[in-house]
Amino acid sequence: MKTYVLTVSRTFPKTHKREGEPTCFVEKILSKQIACGLISKNEVEKYEPFSIFVFNTDEPKLHTIRANYPLWKNRIKQVQKGEAIISLRYWSGKPYNSKQIEFCQLDKDSGIGIQALYFEFERFLEPFVSAEDSENGTQTYLSTHEIAINDGLIYPDFKEWFKNYELNEPMAIIHFTEYRY
C-alpha cells in the first residue's frame, strides 16, 4: 500500500512574522480525531509530548491547505479507494533537517476528502474563497476568516502564511475528517 506523507508545522516558519512560535497544529488535528472517534480516549496516552489541554480545544484544525491541487486530488482518491494512506507527520527539530515523526494515519475510513480552493480577489473588497467539491460539483463561497479558523489559524496569521503562494491557481483543501464546505 502506498503511503503519502503530509507534514505539519509545530512552529510558525521563518517567512512568518511569528517565526518560531508554536502553531499547536498537531494538537488541533488530534483533538478532532479524538472527538470524531478516530482515535480512542485510551490511545491519548501515547501522544504524551502534546498538551492534553489542547486536545479539548474548541478550535480544531479541520484541514490543511496545499499547493498543487491536481497532485493531491489524485492522492486523496487513492486513499478513498483503499489503495493508499496519508501519514501525518511533524519535524522533530529543524524542518527538512530532522527526523519526521508520524502522529496519525488517515485511511479510507477516516473521512478524508479534498476540495479545490479558489481565491477570489476581483469580486470582493476582502478576499473571499470558493471551495469546490469535485464529488458533487457544488461550489460554496466562504470568507477567508472562516477558512483560516478551520485551518487552525486566525485571519492575520493565515494571510501572512500564504503571502508568498501563487493564489491564481486552485489550492487543495485536504480535510482530515468528513467535514466539507
pLDDT of residue 17 exceeding 60, the answer is yes
Q: For residue 180, tell me if it sits in a domain.
A: no
Whole-Å CA distances, 74 to 10, 17, 54, 77, 81? 27, 33, 32, 5, 11
For cell 483560516, the residue is: 148
How much is the pLDDT for 139?
Answer: 78
pLDDT of residue 56 exceeding 60, the answer is no
Number of domains the chain contains: 1
Q: Which residue has the higher pLDDT, 163 or 2?
A: 2
**Residue pLDDT, tens place only, 113-167:** 999 888 876 554 455 677 766 667 777 888 888 899 999 999 899 989 988 888 8
How much is the pLDDT for 59?
Answer: 76
pLDDT of residue 43 exceeding 90, the answer is no
Q: For residue 158, tell me if it sits in a domain.
A: yes
**Residue pLDDT, tens place only, 81-113:** 999 999 999 998 888 999 999 988 999 999 999
Question: Residue 90: which domain range?
Answer: 2-175
- DSSP calls for 102-156: EEEEE-TTTT-EEEEEEEE-SS-SS-EEEEE-TTT--EEEEEHHHHHHHTTS-HH
Q: For residue 81, tell me if it sits in a domain.
A: yes
How much is the pLDDT for 167?
Answer: 83
Average pLDDT of the segment spanning 66-72: 96
Q: For residue 181, tell me if it sits in a domain.
A: no
How much is the pLDDT for 95?
Answer: 87
